[in-house]
Structure 1
Amino acid sequence: MTTSSRTLGDLFDTFQREAFRLETLDDYSNSGNVDAYHAFLAGEPQPDDYNAGWVEELRSHTGKGKRVYRAHILRRPLTDYLRFELGWGYQKNMSGGEEFYILDVTGKPNPLDAVPDFWLFDSEYVAVMNYDATGRYLGSEVLGPERAAEFAQHRDAALARAEPFTEWWAKYGA
């Protein structure tokens, strides 16, 4: 893989039009928000300030007309972590303008089975997100523009098969 000198943080600071995320895992519980995840599992209410920093960043982007959106490939029944992520995270992040889509592959083949998690910025730069088997974030690798078209195809394939989160959640949410 070709790596540029840019970082994931640089890409968030400099994107002009859109940032797209593909999520492929059913458990990111070792990557952050661990305390919130345990509170969710214990049946505690969501704190008012949950994800406040990310929601503020989202508003700074969406307030300038930039689009931040993601698709999550998943299967039912949902893991505890996905119930947390979709119920607490997605719901909260929508208040900052982030858009969500679900590609539910329950009972059917995953059309993007070997595709890793990634962020795609302005269809020009890709940051591949690396995780271990327990869902612990290991870091990202920023790829150069020569790989962007490949990941734009993955984005388009996911979105062509996905449905808006709010519609999916109304049918299958907890």
Structure 2
Amino acid sequence: MSELLKGATLTAAIADRLYDRGGRPVPGAGVFRMELLPAYAVASDGGDFGRYLEGEAEPDWERKRPFMARLEQRRDDGLYQRRVRILSAMLSDYERFECDWAYRLNVPCGEDIRVLHRGEHDVPSLLGFDYWLVNDSTVLRMHYANDGKFQGAQEAPELLRVCRREARHTFREAEPFLQWWERHPEIAARRKVT
């Protein structure tokens, strides 16, 4: 078993595959992310999920802007950024938060996000775990506890072929996020305020 990569180590492992040692983008490089869980308990949201539940109007821009700038830089460098989000039939609070405060803002910065919403779209049989597919050549399988807490990611070369196939198929079948979002204004309006 390879070591579990977490936080900055995972981010660096991905970036190291997108840019050469001189800091230049690798031609044709990019990332694909498969997301399946109804909720994640991750520090990377910087407390924004709690703010969202409390009815705040927008994310913490000091945290969000650098991430958006990284997406824009990758886009400007010609790197592809794709994501397929499998959404629950009844969206969780966390899924609504991701749609409203993450995906809606990430797409204009260059991330091509697509969704398959259970009950609305035909969701194919899936591998059943989250992963990053980097440059269509490296699988980083994500590991989460039952409560959605991130435990780490590990390289899984034995899964490359099946992850490639799933990524291509689901990306082709999924609906572009902004198109889907525009058809569902009720989702942002259903924010749970505690």
- Give the TM-score, by structure 1 length: 0.86
Q: Which residue of 1 aligns with 2:13?
A: 10
- Give matches, 1:1-174, under 5 Å: 3=2, 8=10, 9-15=12-18, 16=26, 17-28=29-40, 30-32=41-43, 33=45, 35-46=47-58, 47-106=60-119, 110-144=123-157, 147-173=159-185, 174=187
Cα distance, 1:74 vs structure 2: 1.3
Q: CA deviation at 1:118?
A: 0.4
SS at match of 1:51: helix
1:100-148 per-residue CA deviation (whole Å, 9 max, x = no partner) reads 100122277742344310000111001011111111101001123x532
Count of aligned positions: 171
1:65, 1:147 → 2: CA distance?
A: 26
- Per the TM alignment, residue 49 of structure 1 is displaced from its structure 2 partner at its CA by 3.2
* Runs of 4+ more than 3 Å apart: 2-8, 47-50, 107-110
Unaligned runs of 5+ residues in structure 1 are none
Higher helix share: 2
| Structure 1 vs Structure 2 CA RMSD | 2.3
Residue 126 of structure 2 contacts residue 166 of structure 2 at CA under 8 Å; is this kept in 1?
A: no
Deviations 1:70-96, CA, capped at 9 Å, x for gaps: 000112321111110110011222242
Could you give the per-residue CA deviations for residues 11-33 of structure 1, whole angstroms, max 9, x where no partner exists? 223223220000001101x1122
The verdict on how the C-alpha distance between 1:132 and 1:109 changes in structure 2, with shifts beyond 3 A counting, is farther
Rounded Cα–Cα distance in structure 1 between residues aligned with 2:84 and 2:128: 13
Q: In structure 2, the residue corresponding to 1:78 is in which secondary structure?
A: coil
CA contact (8 A) 1:3 1:142 kept: yes
TM superposition shift of 1:62 = 1.1
Which sections of structure 2, spanning at least 5 residues, go unmatched?
A: 19-25, 188-194
Q: After superposition, give the CA deviation of every residue in 1:29-82 in whole Å (9 maximum; x if it has no partner).
A: x11225211111111111333422321221221110111110001123211111
Give the partner amino acid of 1:102.
Answer: V
The amino acid across from 2:17 in the alignment is T
